[in-house]
Amino acid sequence: MTPARGPLLIAALALLWGANFLWIALALRGFTPVQLTFGRMVLGTAVLLPIVLVRREHFPRDIGTWAHLAVAGLIASSAPYLLFALAETRISSGAAGTLNATTPLWTLALALVLGQERRPTYGQVAGFLLGFLGCLVMFSPWQGGGLDVLGGAFCLTAALSYAVSYVYMRRYLTPRKLSPLTLSASQLLPATAWVALALPFDPAPGSSTPGLLPWTALLILGLFGTGLAYVINYALIRSEGASGASVVTYLVPVVALALGTTVAAEPLSTSLIAGAAFVLIGVVLSRHHSAGWAHRRRHGRTHQQ
């Protein structure tokens, strides 16, 4: 294993996950949020399934495991993916990427509530308060032109959904000794089915045909930002461990903001920059004092995005 392997994997994954928010914004120029989410998961599954088959890994065979996978697929993939797509019809991709970074804060909060973490330390409390302050600064309710409330709420709900999925999978799926790759592929199958159920109710435009840019963005988002990102994530965890891999959490919002500003020409306000800084500092504090619990199980997502 070369010394540069870890940093290269971290850089690749941060770029893939951070760029996902830009690809969502571009794909939405031709697809509805439901269409985008469905296409993304179909393409991601198309990447993972052949790898699982080539490696001759076995899918679960009992109904109980598939039932838990169906729940995990809903809260770890289909729901948050759709929520972020809905959010980006109202807010910038950079803002969405920044709010996605609150996932570790939600995860730690759930761990404390459920008794899976001991009483909070001063660092954790400070992290929570700074993360909350960051979100408040981004929304800026005291002045006009702040973050759209509904769009921001979609993002925060998606981040909470990711957090719930970590807790759920740790309790019901991790003990079943499925490999991370098989778990991801198995999870995406019911997740795709969940979104397929919503397609008949999607108010898609009847006559518009997506152009080259939305199609390209969707293909990149599905094949690379979803499918390949899962593979790199697990290679990174094997190489650097969960603690080392968690560095990506801090880089994703930076990449999302940078790409949104430079490629999509999204406005970069002072409140957005300040809010992002508070959120990231809060995440650093909370994670440093929580012994890395929040990333013992990492999605796709997951996100992170």
Mean pLDDT, rounded, for 102-121: 82
Express each pLDDT in 282-295 by its tens digit. 988 887 655 444 44
Express each pLDDT in 193-251 by its tens digit. 999 999 999 987 655 788 999 999 999 999 999 999 988 887 777 777 655 666 788 88
pLDDT reported for residue 145: 66
Assessment of whether the complete model's pTM goes beyond 0.85 = yes
Alpha carbon distance 160, 76 (integer Å): 10
How many domains are contained in the chain?
1
Band (302; pLDDT cuts 50, 70, 90): very low
Alpha carbon distance 39, 50 (integer Å): 18
Q: Are 271 and 110 in contact (CB under 8 A)?
A: no
- Type of residue at 108: L
Q: Is residue 139 part of a domain?
A: yes
Express each pLDDT in 142-186 by its tens digit. 776 679 999 999 999 999 999 899 888 888 987 887 888 888 899
Taking only Cα atoms into account, the Rg of the chain, rounded to an integer number of angstroms, comes to 18
Q: Is residue 302 part of a domain?
A: no
pLDDT reported for residue 299: 42
CB atoms within 10 A of CB 145: 8
Q: Is residue 106 part of a domain?
A: yes
Q: Is residue 62 part of a domain?
A: yes
Band (138; pLDDT cuts 50, 70, 90): very high
Q: Are 202 and 32 in contact (CB under 8 A)?
A: yes
- pLDDT of 93 above 50: yes
142 phi, psi to nearest 5 deg: -80, -5
Of 281, 246, 187, residue with least CA distance to 10: 246
Q: Is residue 59 part of a domain?
A: yes
Which DSSP helix (H) or strand (E) runs through 169? helix 149-172
Alpha helices in 88-179 (DSSP H): 93-100, 103-113, 122-139, 149-172
Alpha carbon distance 245, 69 (integer Å): 24
Write out the residue range of the structural domain in which residue 76 sits: 5-198+211-295
Alpha carbon distance 130, 105 (integer Å): 10
Q: Is residue 12 part of a domain?
A: yes
- pLDDT of 117 above 80: no
Q: Is residue 303 part of a domain?
A: no
Q: Are 228 and 16 in contact (CB under 8 A)?
A: yes
